[in-house]
């Protein structure tokens, strides 16, 4: 009985074959015929290949094998496909060159094209990619750099104990890193980044850190500074004191590597950031258990069509006001006092001579 069960399992094994992507369908309107599958997104037309030899067989349509996860694919890529319950499925493209924007067939030749095909004038004869596909854009695959402060590995144990990150990459400089520094998790979402590691000055970045300062996590030789930071005439950074007067107002050293008490923080950086809460109930709330710091290198504007309320123990207008040498007066009380003084002066008149002065 056990042998029969084993035979049934073996007989249902799935075989994958090599295929060359001839056409890609990216939306429901992008079909050859309207009677084809209802949802054509990510479906491809494949030229079946005999092993790794460039011998073209029949063309077939195949859908992604995995539900909900579909890799970016274009004409000229290589895939693996299989027939399951009378439907063709594919996985890929194959990572032929380990580069995010260049994964074409590594044995491409014009023999892979149909003899009477009208595509020959619209493809790159060296790669099989479409002539207008931007395969020449240099995009470096995301990598994990060595970080002596955060890896917590000795030079002796680095090669045997290091680990890589889980990476999800697009073709043109965007990616998600689900990784860690030592045992401390890090999650990066980057866009328009052509470099091997996420950048604080190029493109956009959302970074979720669990230990170490921003400087330590991004392996910076100098401290991370915001665009609002102040420099003197000699280009030296002038530390802005915070509310307690002891630390920098933006607390750059937060999370400084502490294995006993790691601290979480989120960094968002880009050329422009917009927050918008829509709808009748679209409130935008900012809350902090300690301080809220806003800074602008040029102008700071608040607009609202309703009323404004500021509840605070103390309100200081300007840094010198913290010394409380020149407190702000109460407007109504000052007005009443000035009115009383004015009324008193109106009631007074004076007639003066050299020998006497009489006020009445």
**What are the tens digits of pLDDT across the range 174-216?**
999 999 999 999 999 999 998 999 999 889 999 999 999 999 9
Report the pLDDT value the prediction gives residue 35, as an integer from 0 to 100.
58
Count of alpha carbons within 13 Å of 219, Cβ hemisphere only? 11
Task: Report angle CA 312, 315, 318 to the nearest 5 degrees.
Answer: 150
Per-position pLDDT tens, the chain of length 360: 556 655 555 556 788 999 999 999 998 887 776 656 778 889 999 998 864 444 456 789 999 999 998 999 999 999 999 999 889 999 999 999 999 999 888 888 887 887 656 666 788 888 888 888 888 788 899 999 999 899 999 999 999 999 999 999 999 999 999 999 999 999 999 999 989 999 998 899 999 999 999 999 999 988 888 888 877 666 666 666 555 445 567 788 888 887 667 789 999 999 999 999 998 888 999 999 988 888 888 899 999 999 999 898 888 877 777 777 776 777 788 888 888 888 888 777 665 655 555 555
How far, in Å, CA of 193 to CA of 196, rounded? 8
Is 242 strand, coil or helix? coil
Q: Where are the domains of the chain?
A: 15-122, 140-276
**What are the tens digits of pLDDT across the range 102-149?**
988 888 888 788 765 666 678 888 888 888 888 878 889 999 999 989
| DSSP state, residue 248 | B
Report the pLDDT value the prediction gives residue 320, as an integer from 0 to 100.
73
How far, in Å, CA of 191 to CA of 247, rounded? 33
Rounded alpha-carbon distances, angstroms, from residue 237 to 155, 172, 227, 229, 240: 34, 36, 12, 7, 9
Q: pTM score, two decimals?
A: 0.81
Report the pLDDT value the prediction gives residue 98, as an integer from 0 to 100.
92
User: Do residues 183 and 151 lie in contact, with contact meaning Cβ atoms separated by under 8 Å?
Assistant: no
């Amino acid at each position: 009985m056990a042998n029969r069960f084993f035979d049934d399992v073996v007989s249902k094994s799935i075989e994958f074959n090599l295929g060359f992507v001839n056409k890609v369908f990216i939306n429901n309107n992008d079909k050859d015929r309207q009677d084809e599958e209802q949802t054509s997104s990510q479906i491809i037309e494949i030229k079946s290949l005999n092993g790794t030899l460039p011998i073209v067989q029949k063309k077939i349509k195949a859908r992604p094998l995995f539900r909900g996860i579909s890799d970016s694919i274009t004409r000229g890529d290589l895939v693996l496909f299989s027939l399951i319950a009378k439907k063709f499925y594919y996985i890929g493209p194959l990572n032929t060159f380990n580069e995010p924007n260049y994964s074409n067939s590594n044995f491409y030749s014009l023999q892979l094209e149909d003899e009477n095909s009208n595509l020959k004038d619209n493809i790159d004869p060296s790669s099989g990619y479409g002539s207008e596909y931007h395969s020449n854009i240099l995009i470096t695959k995301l990598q994990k750099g060595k970080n002596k402060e955060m890896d917590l590995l000795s030079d002796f144990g680095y090669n045997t104990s290091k680990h890589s990150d889980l990476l999800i990459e697009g073709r043109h400089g965007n990616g998600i890193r689900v990784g860690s520094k030592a045992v401390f998790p890090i999650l990066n979402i980057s866009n328009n980044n052509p470099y091997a590691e996420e950048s604080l000055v190029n493109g956009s970045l959302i970074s979720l850190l669990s230990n170490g300062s921003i400087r330590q996590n991004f392996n910076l030789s100098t401290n991370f500074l915001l665009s609002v930071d102040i420099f003197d005439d000699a280009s030296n950074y002038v530390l802005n004191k915070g509310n307690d007067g002891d630390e920098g107002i933006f607390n750059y050293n937060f999370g400084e590597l502490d294995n006993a008490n790691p601290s979480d923080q989120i960094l968002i950086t880009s050329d422009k950031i917009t927050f918008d809460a829509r709808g009748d109930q679209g409130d935008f709330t900012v809350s902090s258990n300690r301080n809220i710091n806003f800074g602008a290198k040029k102008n700071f504007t608040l607009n609202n069509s309703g009323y404004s309320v500021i509840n605070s123990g103390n309100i200081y207008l300007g840094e010198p006001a913290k010394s409380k040498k020149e407190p702000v007066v109460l407007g109504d009380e000052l007005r009443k006092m000035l009115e009383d003084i004015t009324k008193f002066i109106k009631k007074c008149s004076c007639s003066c001579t050299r020998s006497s002065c009489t006020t009445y």
